[in-house]
């Protein structure tokens, strides 16, 4: 079967895809919902005799790393075929009020803001470790998706298009996918000129398919495959979109998501629990409070839905812990993201063109492979630690991590070199590559410190 035929097969098998989505909804509800109503496992329980531990491993140790990896390799297939929130939001939209999305909802900063706030809050309540926070965040997100679907759009996924906390991350990773739905605008126009009556299709994520050049917003559902003989599933170079398309409409919010979100907030979320810098920060804050005679933040706690509070497991965050956590993640975000921004801005200035900000935002996109690999490796660290606690030691973990991080760094270097060719030649291109190498080196170092500090 050719890729184009596979795309057409997806279009004609939408009822089967819907049944698959319902099965995922049931599994999702089981893994996220049921453990929250069970007693927390003790040290004598294991993956094979505790639903809570099994759900934690499947959901955070396998499910989410594989979702991100699949997006990187196949585009947003999770969104199109499997995501419970997307399907339930679309179903609610079919029976809902059908209002137009308001202006505030279409604000371009939501992908960054939603990702950063959700990630930060998730660390405050230990979402990876305990089932109640997982139900609160993921279940709350699902209810919000259904509510937004009921209020806005008609048979659309307005939540996915504007408000989903991982929409921006999925969109960035999908730009590297070698698989995409290619649109031929010329064939589309010629088909329109023939005035042929054609069955319409519903693009649930609100993508203007005729002008679609990017895979970032496409959910890979296949509903548009073959339309006007101009849309087909096809291969492409994994670097082509970032080099040839990403610079046309530079987005400051996408740059913020890469620099300060994936390379900052996400890094801090994975880093803080084992960081000597975090411990030093907390000690410094404690000493300052003691000197001022303010002792209550060192002892006061908060409910589990604000800060981690499980005294039966000796896992409690005080107000001081919470403040130190927020300051650490925000500080790392500003340090890593700011340093990367300065280096890439230097490369853009060296190019010597009048399009400094356009080239800056375009060059930031070169860091997507490194940022994506770091987040996937960060999530997989939970996989490794859970298995290790069960006495299962995976072989060559350090070597695999180093290889993947190295390949991602090489991909970012390649993209930087290709993008610079669009803005400078000769010695300027060579000179601009120096700070780009510095940015890739810094990004590799900060992610590497997560595993080898």
Token pair for 428: 């300027």
Torsion sign over Cα 249, 252, 253, 257: positive
Which class for 199: exposed (0-12), middle (13-18), buried (19 or more C-beta within 10 A)? exposed
CB atoms within 10 A of CB 207: 19
- % of the chain surpassing 90 pLDDT: 78
pLDDT along the chain (453 residues), means of 10: 88 91 92 91 84 90 92 94 93 93 94 96 95 94 96 94 95 96 90 75 92 93 90 94 89 94 95 90 95 91 95 92 96 96 96 87 96 94 88 90 96 97 93 97 93 78
pLDDT score of 343: 97
Match 């859970």 to its residue by tokens. Answer: 386
CA distance 79 to 173: 13
CB atoms within 10 A of CB 300: 12
Token pair for 376: 């996937």
The two counts, helices (H) then strands (E), for the chain are: 22, 4
Residues 6 or more apart from 266 whose CB is under 8 A from it? 119, 371, 374, 375, 378
CA distances from 297 to 271, 290, 304 (A): 23, 10, 16
pLDDT score of 353: 75
pLDDT score of 24: 92
CA distance 4 to 232: 5
Token pair for 371: 């940022």
CA distances from 272 to 119, 331, 333 (A): 13, 11, 12
CA distance 340 to 367: 10
CA distances from 447 to 332, 350, 365 (A): 12, 27, 17
pLDDT score of 176: 96
pLDDT score of 335: 95
Residues 6 or more apart from 17 whose CB is under 8 A from it? 10, 81, 221
Residues 6 or more apart from 135 whose CB is under 8 A from it? 32, 33, 35, 36
Token pair for 69: 């990896």
- For the chain, the first-to-last Cα distance in angstroms comes to 48
Compute the CA torsion angle 385, 387, 390, 395 (nearest 10 deg): -100
pLDDT score of 249: 81
pLDDT score of 54: 92
> Angle formed by the axes of helices 167-174 and 368-389, to 10°?
110
Model confidence, pTM: 0.94
CA distance 222 to 73: 17
Residues 103, 245 contacting (CB under 8 angstroms):
no
CB atoms within 10 A of CB 222: 24
Residues 247, 422 contacting (CB under 8 angstroms):
yes
Q: Which of 232, 204, 201 is nearest to 7 (CA)?
A: 232
Token pair for 251: 């987005």
Instruction: Specify the DSSP class assigned to residue 152.
Output: B
pLDDT score of 453: 67
């Amino acid at each position: 079967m050719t890729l184009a035929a596979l795309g057409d097969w997806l279009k004609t098998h939408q009822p089967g895809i819907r049944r698959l989505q319902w099965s995922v909804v049931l599994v999702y509800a089981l893994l996220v919902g049921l453990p929250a109503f069970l007693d927390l496992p003790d040290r004598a329980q294991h993956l094979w005799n505790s639903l809570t531990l099994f759900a934690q491993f499947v959901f955070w140790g396998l499910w989410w790393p594989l979702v991100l990896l699949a997006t990187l390799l196949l585009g947003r297939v999770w969104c199109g075929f499997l995501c419970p929130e997307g399907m339930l939001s679309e179903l609610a939209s079919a029976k809902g009020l059908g209002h137009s999305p308001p202006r505030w909802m279409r604000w371009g900063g939501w992908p960054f803001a939603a990702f950063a706030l959700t990630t930060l809050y998730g660390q405050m309540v230990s979402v990876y470790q305990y089932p109640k926070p997982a139900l609160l965040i993921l279940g709350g997100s699902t209810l919000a998706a259904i509510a937004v679907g009921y209020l806005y759009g008609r048979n659309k996924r307005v939540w996915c298009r504007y408000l989903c906390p991982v929409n921006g991350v999925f969109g960035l990773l999908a730009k590297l996918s070698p698989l995409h739905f290619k649109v031929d605008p010329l064939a589309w126009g010629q088909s329109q000129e023939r005035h042929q009556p054609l069955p319409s299709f519903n693009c649930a994520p609100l993508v203007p398919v005729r002008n679609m050049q990017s895979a970032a917003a496409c959910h890979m559902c296949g509903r548009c495959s073959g339309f006007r003989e101009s849309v087909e599933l096809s291969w492409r170079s994994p670097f082509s979109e970032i080099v040839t398309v990403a610079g046309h409409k530079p987005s400051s919010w996408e740059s913020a998501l890469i620099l300060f979100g994936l390379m900052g907030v996400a890094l801090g979320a994975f880093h803080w629990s084992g960081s000597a810098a975090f411990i030093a920060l907390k000690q410094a804050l404690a000493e300052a409070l003691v000197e001022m005679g303010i002792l209550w933040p060192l002892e006061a706690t908060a409910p589990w839905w604000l800060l981690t509070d499980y005294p039966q497991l000796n896992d409690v965050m005080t107000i001081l812990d919470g403040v130190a956590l927020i300051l650490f993640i925000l500080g790392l975000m500003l340090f890593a993201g700011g340093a990367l921004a300065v280096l890439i801005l230097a490369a853009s200035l060296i190019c010597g063109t009048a399009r400094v900000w356009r080239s800056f935002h375009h060059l930031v996109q070169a860091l997507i492979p490194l940022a994506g690999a770091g987040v996937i490796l960060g999530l997989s660290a939970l996989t490794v630690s859970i298995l290790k606690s069960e006495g299962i030691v995976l072989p060559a973990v350090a070597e695999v991590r180093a290889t993947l991080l190295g390949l991602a760094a090489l991909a970012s270097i390649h993209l930087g070199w290709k993008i610079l060719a669009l803005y400078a030649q000769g010695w300027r291109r060579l000179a601009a590559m120096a700070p780009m190498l510095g940015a890739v080196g810094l990004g590799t170092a900060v992610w590497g410190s997560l595993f080898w500090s």
